[in-house]
Amino acid sequence: MTIELDPQQQAARDWFEQLRDSICAAFEAIEREAGSDAAFEYTPWHRDDPSGAPGGGGVRGQIKGKVFEKAGVNVSTVAGTFEGEFAKSIHGAAEDPSFFATGISLVAHMANPHVPAVHMNTRFLVTTKRWFGGGADLNPPIPYGEDTQDFHARLKAACDAHDPEHYPRFSKWADDYFYIPHRKVHRGVGGIFYDHLEGDFDDNFAFTRDVGSAFLDIFPKLVRRRMNTPFDETDKARQLSWRGRYAEFNLVYDRGTTFGLKTGGNVDAILMSLPPLAAWE
């Protein structure tokens, strides 16, 4: 059984799927430039909601290539009822645990340690309230100031086109959120993070689209800038150690991981954020 969507839900779903297609095409184009024929493999999945209502599902996209050691670009559209105490942790679900969620989630782990890894996620949720959330953050094992500056500048431009308060607020939110308390370090060089953006649907949807478009504009440029940089065993060891920290954050603190597991999502899609190799010393 399929989920019945209202016009706002359908519009959001259509955009996330369109953005997925554009990002995957951009990543495959980079692989071609590197002399690789790697392409995304797509795996559909479905979920059964415990309430008995249609549960929805999604498509897990994954590529393993010469430049992208492992990248996942997932889209999902799910609905149902939050179980037990988890409902109390979700905006607008404490009194009525029914929900709808659609979104895109992306993580790219790169073969060359000089190329930054990256995360991007945007989503639309409906409980007793309707809101957008998401963001993007850069995670370089070997940081370059130029890359960090350009990534932030592009996200700031997307924010400033809608509200001059967005970037200061959302970049700080990213710094606060993408932090590993038990290590006392940030997991990367930041970006933006926002949640519970409710009110005018058209304005908030336009902003969310611009965040996705900004990511699609800037990240391939950073990949092309660094993907042919020579590296040695020391650089690779630094990358593997950094990936260990990344895995710790995603397994212990990441809200998206918790949401996916608590709502019966596809485990492989949820954990696609984990790197193919990591190291702990």
pLDDT bin (cut points 50, 70, 90) of residue 163 is very high
- Residue 26 DSSP code: H
Percent with pLDDT over 70 in the chain: 100
User: How far from 153 is each of 173, 208, 231, CA to CA, in Å?
Assistant: 16, 17, 27
- In the chain, domain spans: 7-273
**Who has greater pLDDT, 92 or 111?**
111
The pLDDT value recorded for residue 90 is 86
Q: Report whether 73 contacts 106 (CB < 8 A).
A: yes
HSE value, Cβ hemisphere, 13 Å, CA-based, for 192: 29
- Residue 84 DSSP code: G
The string of pLDDT tens digits covering residues 125-149 is: 999 999 999 999 999 999 999 999 9
Give the active site residue among 109, 119, 152, 186. Answer: 119
Task: Write down the residue that tokens 């050691």 correspond to.
Answer: 69
- Residue 254 DSSP code: -
Q: In the predicted model, what is the mean pLDDT of residues 39-48?
A: 94
The yes-or-no verdict on residue 264 having pLDDT over 80 is no
Q: Is 196 a catalytic residue?
A: no
The pLDDT value recorded for residue 2 is 76
Strands (E), 140-180: 179-180
Predicted TM-score (pTM) of this structure: 0.94
Q: In the predicted model, what is the mean pLDDT of residues 234-256?
A: 94
How far apart, in whole angstroms, are the C-alpha atoms of residue 198 and residue 153? 25
Q: Hey, is 271 helix, strand or coil?
A: helix
Residue 153, token pair as written in the block? 């500048």
The yes-or-no verdict on residue 1 having pLDDT over 60 is no
- Residue 186 DSSP code: E
The pLDDT value recorded for residue 246 is 93
CATH 3.40.1500.10 given to domain 7-273: yes
HSE value, Cβ hemisphere, 13 Å, CA-based, for 246: 29
